[in-house]
Amino acid sequence: MEATISFRDVRLGFEEGDVVHDLSFEVYPRETLVLLGETGTGKTLSLKMAAGLMRPQQGEVNVLGRRVSTMSETELLAFRREIGFVFQEGALFDSLTVEENVAYRLREEHVAEEEIDPKVREALRFVELEHAIDLVPSELSGGMRRRVSIARALITRPPIVLYDSPTAGLDPVTSQTIIALILRLRDTYGVTALLATHRLQDGFALANFYFDAASNRVMPNSKKAKGKGETDSNTRFAVLRDGKVFFEGSTEQMAAVKDSYLKRFLV
Amino acid sequence: MADTPLQGLGKEPPPSGVEREASISEILLGSAKEAVLRVQEYSYLAAQSVANLFSRPHYVQDTLDQMDSIGVGSLPIVLLTGFFIGAVMVLQTASQFVRFGQTSLTGDAVALALVRELGPTLTSLLVTGRCASGIASELGSMLVTEQVDAMRAMGTDPSRKLVTPRVVATVLVVPLLTTMSDFIGLVGGCVAAVFSLRLGVVQFWTRAIDALEFSDIMQGMLKSIVFAFILSTVGCYKGLTVRGGTQGVGRSTTQAVVISSVLIIVADTFLTKLALYLANKVF
């Protein structure tokens, strides 16, 4: 099976030195790869390279069968419409209302106004923020901003969504809400996702739970009716250290690690 | 980061502890390279802002919004300043003309000074103080809060969406503001001439209008267009190259005003020379 996202021997650095080097990993269709790592290990940079917002100095980045690392900016602008990006702090346009933020992409693509409103409301309903449609970002809490950001990312139903520390700086209850939304997005629309975080519990929640459309609730995987050969989850972990993948494996492998560095994430 | 030559030869660079300090010539060379790089980046942004006009998409609504913000927003300060500049010009020139009994010439002097020089320059400097800083801080804030990246991630070219509308709006409204400033400056001059020098209103306006030639008006317009381009592109450039978070936004805002103001005054010298040459050759 061809990978949806693949990094091969990628290197990127600044004046202070390389941030990532020899970075290689793959994300397969409908899979969620959780990029774990401490601050400064290149998680955000990896996401930005996957979206073509940054260009690697060496190596290859392929997304949806196209080599992002060598595309021109004009090609990238068109290509990025197939990717949803949820930024760490939401990155909502603070001069626009929630409706204008969520509808931004549709208006850029000159979608008819009468089609925009139902789509925006549907996306906001998905993140349970339809009542906030006329508010501006400064009137929203941190968690609400992330939820609007998720609504904005899913408005065009992209096949890939990149999450940059979606729960960073949020309280545990709000973090749970965000993770539940990510689960719902994954299990409802079947998106391929790359999620950067330093919180292992986010990754475990994605790996151990699923969204049950029938009951409209998040349920543990143990209650999921599985088909033949189907595993509990399609979530894998990649731990970044010193600019490269230090560990890559399934939930079970991650939970059973003996390495002292990896164990720090389990505490 | 580029590899060092030693790494290229497969040799290890010296440990960081024994790295020698850079010499003065190396520091100067590094600064010169940095300056050239910045000029190159600025030139590219300025050229791109114009090139965007010749291909789609165009952000007409954003341009109109910016015209409202820059033009209508700046109108009160431009008019107020213009009025008093005109008045003070009359008082200053009259104090000299009165020695020769030629106070009637104040209309000529004020009209020429305002339309050729003070109108475009002072209007541009006022708009720089208000708008170059505003553009730099707005774009800088968008950059540090990842809004510019978000825009790119959604398939929008920030140069088209953020830079070109601001540049076009400024280039369109500054000449209009200059024209209004010129007129209100003459009104201010007239008021000062009537009440201070006891000149007649008709006499003042007749002399002021007769003194002006087409080339004087063209000179003023040419200057205001060039100054508008400078202040808007410098504002955009400083905003989109912010480094160092919110503190960097403040620094860039100040730099945008200082650099724009200096460039406007430097450009004024060359434009005056050019305009005088063209006035002799063409008009």
pLDDT of B86 > 50? The answer is yes
CB neighbours of B247 closer than 8 A, spacing ≥ 6?
none
pLDDT for B3 equals 37
Lowest mean pLDDT among A128-142, A236-250, B231-245: A236-250
State the CB neighbour count (10 A cutoff) for residue A208: 15
Alpha-carbon distance B142 to nearest alpha carbon in chain A (angstroms): 8
Lowest mean pLDDT among A47-61, A253-267, B71-85: A253-267
CATH superfamily of A5-266: P-loop containing nucleotide triphosphate hydrolases (3.40.50.300)
CB neighbours of A22 closer than 8 A, spacing ≥ 6?
A9, A10, A11, A59, A243, A244
Which residues from chain B sit within 8 angstroms of residue A14, using beta carbons? 1
Place of tokens 């931004």: A104
pLDDT for B56 equals 86
Query: For residue B103, what pLDDT band results from cuts at 50, 70 and 90?
Result: confident
Contact B154 A105 (CB under 8 A): yes
Query: For residue B10, what pLDDT band results from cuts at 50, 70 and 90?
Result: very low
Is B1 in CB contact (< 8 Å) with chain A? Answer: yes
Given B146, B151, B154, which is nearest A89 (Cβ)? B146
Top-confidence range, A117-121, A182-186, A238-242: A117-121
pLDDT, tens only, B197-227: 888 999 999 999 999 999 999 999 999 999 9
Beta bridge partners of A23: A10
Alpha-carbon distance B227 to nearest alpha carbon in chain A (angstroms): 28
Is A247 in CB contact (< 8 Å) with chain B? Answer: no
Burial class (CB within 10 angstroms; exposed 0-12, middle 13-18, buried 19+) of B7: exposed
Which residues from chain B sit within 8 angstroms of residue A152, using beta carbons? 154
**Running DSSP on this structure, what letter comes out for residue A70?**
G
pLDDT of B1 > 50? The answer is no
pLDDT of B263 > 80? The answer is yes
**DSSP of A129-173:** -GGGTT--GGGS-HHHHHHHHHHHHHTT--SEEEEESTTTT--HH
Query: For residue B167, what pLDDT band results from cuts at 50, 70 and 90?
Result: very high
Given B1, B152, B156, which is nearest A53 (Cβ)? B152
Query: For residue A224, what pLDDT band results from cuts at 50, 70 and 90?
Result: low
Average pLDDT for chain A: 88
Contact A53 B145 (CB under 8 A): no
Which residues from chain A sit within 8 angstroms of residue B150, using beta carbons? 85, 87, 91-93
pLDDT for A225 equals 59
pLDDT, tens only, A226-264: 554 455 568 899 999 888 888 888 888 888 888 888 877
Mean pLDDT of B254-264: 97
CA separation, residue B82 to residues B134, B187, B197 (Å):
22, 9, 20
pLDDT, tens only, B127-165: 999 999 999 999 999 999 999 999 999 989 999 999 999
Contact B149 A53 (CB under 8 A): yes
pLDDT of B234 > 90? The answer is yes
pLDDT for A214 equals 83
Contact A94 B147 (CB under 8 A): yes
Helix B106-113 and helix B73-97, axial crossing angle in degrees, nearest 10: 140
Query: For residue B9, what pLDDT band results from cuts at 50, 70 and 90?
Result: very low
Supply the ipTM of this predicted assembly.
0.88
Which residues from chain B sit within 8 angstroms of residue A16, using beta carbons? 1
Token output for B225: 């267009």
pLDDT for A267 equals 64
Global pTM reads: 0.87
Mutation target vs B (from A18, A44, A49, A80; most B CBs, 10 A cutoff):
A80
Contact B153 A16 (CB under 8 A): no
Lowest mean pLDDT among A2-11, A99-108, A211-220: A211-220
pLDDT of A207 > 80? The answer is yes
CB contact at 8 A, A245 and A255 = no
Is A75 in CB contact (< 8 Å) with chain B? Answer: no
Q: Which residue has the higher pLDDT, B263 or B22?
A: B263
Give contacts of B 51-80 with A, CB under 8 A: 57
Closest CA relative to residue A251, chosen from A267, A233, A239, A266: A233
Query: For residue B13, what pLDDT band results from cuts at 50, 70 and 90?
Result: very low
In chain A, where the domains are located = 5-266
Contact A93 B145 (CB under 8 A): no
Query: For residue A158, what pLDDT band results from cuts at 50, 70 and 90?
Result: very high
Closest CA relative to residue A99, chosen from A61, A131, A65: A131
Phi–psi pair at B266, nearest 5 degrees: -65, -45
Which residues from chain B sit within 8 angstroms of residue A108, using beta carbons? 57, 154-156
Lowest mean pLDDT among A173-182, B74-83, B246-255: A173-182
Mean pLDDT of A79-98: 92
Q: Which residue has the higher pLDDT, B247 or B264?
A: B264
Q: Which residue has the higher pLDDT, A22 or B17?
A: A22
pLDDT of B261 > 80? The answer is yes
In percent, the amount of chain B with pLDDT more than 70 equals: 93
Is B273 in CB contact (< 8 Å) with chain A? Answer: no
